[in-house]
Amino acid sequence: MTLAEFFSCSLLAFGPPVAMFALTIAKDPVRIIIMTAAAFFWLLSFLLSSVVWYIVTPLRTYLAFGMVFAIIFQEGFRYCTYLLLRKTEAGLKEISENHEIGKHKLEMAYVSGLGFGFMSGAFALVNVLADSIGPGTLGLQSGTEFFFVTSAAMTLCMILLNTFWSVIFFNGLDEKNYKKILWVIGSHFFVSSLSLLNRKELYLATILPSYVVLLITAMLAFKCAGGYVGTLLHTFVNKP
Q: State yes or no: pLDDT of 89 exceeds 80.
A: no
Alpha-carbon distances, residue 122 vs 117, 136, 170, 227 (angstroms): 8, 22, 24, 30
What pLDDT does residue 59 have? 67
Alpha-carbon distances, residue 47 vs 26, 42, 123, 189 (angstroms): 27, 9, 12, 19
What pLDDT does residue 120 have? 92
What pLDDT does residue 16 have? 93
Alpha-carbon distances, residue 131 vs 2, 77, 78, 98, 148 (angstroms): 9, 31, 31, 43, 9
Residues 142-154, mean pLDDT to the nearest whole number: 79
Domain ranges of the chain: 2-236
Note whether 121 and 152 are within 8 A (CB): no
Higher pLDDT: 220 or 58? It is 220
What pLDDT does residue 240 have? 45
Q: State yes or no: pLDDT of 167 exceeds 80.
A: yes
Percent of the chain with pLDDT over 70: 82
Helix (H, G, I), strand (E, B) or coil at 25: coil
Which pLDDT tens digit goes with each residue over 96-124?
655 455 556 788 899 999 999 999 999 88
Q: State yes or no: pLDDT of 237 exceeds 80.
A: no
State the amino acid at position 152 in one-letter form. A
Kindly give, in sequence order, each residue whose CB lies less than 8 Å from that of residue 17, ignoring residues fewer than 6 positions away: 114, 117, 118, 121, 156, 159, 160, 163
What pLDDT does residue 140 have? 46
Q: State yes or no: pLDDT of 236 exceeds 70.
A: no
Q: State yes or no: pLDDT of 218 exceeds 90.
A: yes
Higher pLDDT: 57 or 217? It is 217
